[in-house]
């Protein structure tokens, strides 16, 4: 993946090149190549893309620069043009201002194509309002709105004509201390709020210990015990996980939840099946959920099954032990087969379908096994 920001950082006669965003542990390694003095003044001697040129030559906080890259990572092509056009006109010289600008794109409309007035009007409303209703489509003259935008005060930039929407209030989401919430990674299993006093930071689990430590430092908290922690949202599409992750956090702590999130942070994880398995096994601990996730192949999940016949058909169609020639299907009593298999394979009906064990497998054996390679260690 191409970096969002490439920056040359200078300290004295030393310099390093950063490719951002990156993990906090990687950022710390690069910083230590320059100096181990946490209070040292670092300078941004060069930066790409060129749209960020107003920041060059300034003293820089590496965490802020990394966060700006994370914020920019979520941009669409149009949003990137809005941001760089606004940077060119507003010329923010601090990372705080640039970060806040990245969260205020509705304030700026950029016209990149001049020939279609109606499309200009639609794009403007989509930017300002976040969407267009069916009522708007029937009632508004998008061509006239586009014409109004073009005949109002527009500033030419390298990225298109910039129109500032003065009716949109500016939000100062970044106060220079604690970072606002952003969604860009798309691989976070859970997002937690970390609160201390009247300040809030966000943790995107799984997180590195150093990231949690930095979040506490920005809050001014000495330990996690001083903070209030809550699960804000989850990657899983099933609402149950919000409660399950919250239970892990309440009863086992952030370290256990972070370890669980690290294990579940796998591309292609079948959340539908795992959700059904947790319900089937009726487990609550992070360790037991890990065991189910590791042994998913020992279970059969027949999604959306409603009848014994559905179960019989599933086994004949998809299970090697019970497959049959299509020519024989007229002679199979699928309802009786499904009823028999449910009794034999420790099955349970759930709202989402049926779960049972593979032949020869045991839920008790799975839950009693040692979980090798999984620890609940970490920051506390």
What distance separates the 2 farthest-apart alpha carbons in the chain?
84
* pLDDT tens column, 194-240: 999 999 999 999 999 999 999 999 999 999 999 999 999 998 878 99
Sign (positive/negative) of CA torsion 185, 188, 194, 198?
Answer: positive
Q: Shortest CA distance to 257 belongs to which of 376, 367, 373?
A: 376
What is the CA angle 17-36-66, rounded to 5?
40
Q: Does residue 8 sit in the same domain as residue 41?
A: yes
What pLDDT was estimated at residue 375? 54
Distance CA 273, CA 277 (A): 6
What does the pLDDT look like over 258-294, one tens digit per residue?
A: 999 999 998 888 999 999 999 999 999 999 999 999 9
**Residues 358, 308 share a domain:** yes
Q: Read off the pLDDT of residues 203-216 as tens digits, 9 standing for 90 and up.
A: 999 999 999 999 99
Q: In this structure, is residue 339 part of a structural domain?
A: yes
Residue 373 lies in a domain: no
Instruction: Establish if 268 belongs to a structural domain.
Output: no
102 shares a domain with 80: yes
Residue range(s) defining the domain that contains residue 220: 190-263
In a domain, 205, yes or no: yes
Residue 375 belongs to some domain of the structure: no
Residues 285 and 338 in one domain: yes
What's the domain count of the chain? 4
Is 183 inside any structural domain?
no
Say if residue 289 is in the same domain as residue 363. Answer: yes
Among 217, 240, 263, the domain-final residue is: 263
Residues 101 and 47 in one domain: no
Q: Is residue 167 part of a domain?
A: yes
Same domain, 66 and 106: no
User: What is the distance of C-alpha 167 from the center of its chain?
Assistant: 31
Same domain, 92 and 30: no
**DSSP structure string for 341-359:** HHHHTT-EEETTEEEEEPT
Residues 6+ apart with CB under 8 A from 80: 72
Q: What is the pLDDT of residue 67?
A: 97
Name 193's Cβ contacts closer than 8 Å, sequence gap at least 6.
Answer: 200, 201, 202, 203, 228, 229, 230, 232
Lookup: tokens for 225? 């015990």
Residues whose CB falls within 8 Å of the CB of residue 147, separated by 6 or more in sequence, listed in order: 117, 121
Both 70 and 84 in one domain: the answer is no
Residues 364 and 279 in one domain: yes
Angle made by CA atoms 374, 375, 380, in degrees to the nearest 5: 150
Same domain, 66 and 85: no
> Do 85 and 66 share a domain, yes or no?
no
- Give the pLDDT score at 138: 76
What does the pLDDT average to over 295-318? 95
74, 98, 120 - which closes a domain: 74
Q: What is the pLDDT of residue 2?
A: 81
- pLDDT number for residue 165: 94
228 domain residue, yes or no:
yes
Q: What is the mean pLDDT of residues 7-27?
A: 97
Mean pLDDT score of the chain: 93
In the prediction, which pLDDT does 327 show?
Answer: 81
**pLDDT tens digits, 121-179:** 999 988 998 888 887 777 888 899 899 999 988 999 999 999 999 999 999 999 999 99
pLDDT of residue 87: 97
- d(CA 102, CA 85) in angstroms, rounded, equals 11
The residue from 39, 74, 109 where one domain ends is 74
């Amino acid at each position: 993946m191409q970096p969002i920001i490439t920056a040359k950082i200078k300290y004295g006669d030393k310099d390093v090149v950063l490719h951002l965003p990156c993990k906090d542990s990687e950022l710390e390694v690069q910083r230590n190549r320059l100096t181990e003095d946490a209070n040292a003044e670092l300078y941004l001697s060069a930066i790409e893309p060129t749209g960020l040129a107003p920041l060059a030559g300034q003293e820089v906080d590496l965490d802020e620069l990394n966060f700006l890259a994370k914020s920019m990572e979520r941009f669409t092509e149009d949003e990137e043009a809005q941001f760089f056009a606004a940077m060119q006109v507003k010329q923010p010289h601090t990372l705080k201002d640039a970060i806040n600008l990245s969260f205020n794109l509705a304030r700026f409309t950029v016209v990149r194509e001049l020939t279609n007035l109606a499309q200009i009007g639609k794009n403007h409303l989509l930017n300002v309002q976040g969407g267009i209703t069916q009522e708007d489509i029937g009632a508004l003259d998008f061509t006239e709105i586009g014409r109004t935008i073009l005949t109002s005060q527009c500033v030419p930039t390298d990225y298109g004509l910039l129109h500032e929407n003065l009716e949109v209030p500016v939000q100062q989401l970044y106060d220079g201390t604690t970072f606002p919430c952003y969604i860009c990674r798309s691989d976070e299993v859970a997002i937690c709020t970390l609160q201390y006093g009247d300040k809030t930071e966000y943790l995107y689990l799984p997180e590195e210990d150093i990231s949690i430590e930095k979040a506490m430092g920005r809050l001014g908290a000495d330990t996690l015990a001083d903070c209030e922690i809550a699960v804000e949202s989850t990657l899983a599409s099933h609402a149950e996980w919000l409660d399950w992750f919250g239970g892990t956090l309440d009863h086992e702590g952030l370290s256990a939840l972070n370890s669980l999130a690290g294990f579940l942070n796998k591309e292609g994880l079948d959340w539908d099946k795992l959700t059904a398995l947790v319900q089937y096994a009726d487990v609550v601990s992070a360790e037991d959920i890990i065991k189910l996730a590791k042994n998913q192949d020992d279970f059969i999940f027949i999604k959306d099954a409603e009848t014994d016949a559905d179960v019989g058909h599933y086994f004949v169609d998809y299970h090697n032990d019970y497959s049959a020639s299509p020519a024989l299907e007229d002679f199979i009593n699928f309802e009786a087969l499904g009823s028999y298999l449910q009794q034999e394979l420790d099955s349970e009906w759930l709202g989402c379908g049926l779960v049972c064990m593979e032949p020869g497998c045991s839920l008790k054996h799975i839950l009693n096994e040692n979980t090798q390679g999984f620890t609940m260690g970490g920051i506390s």
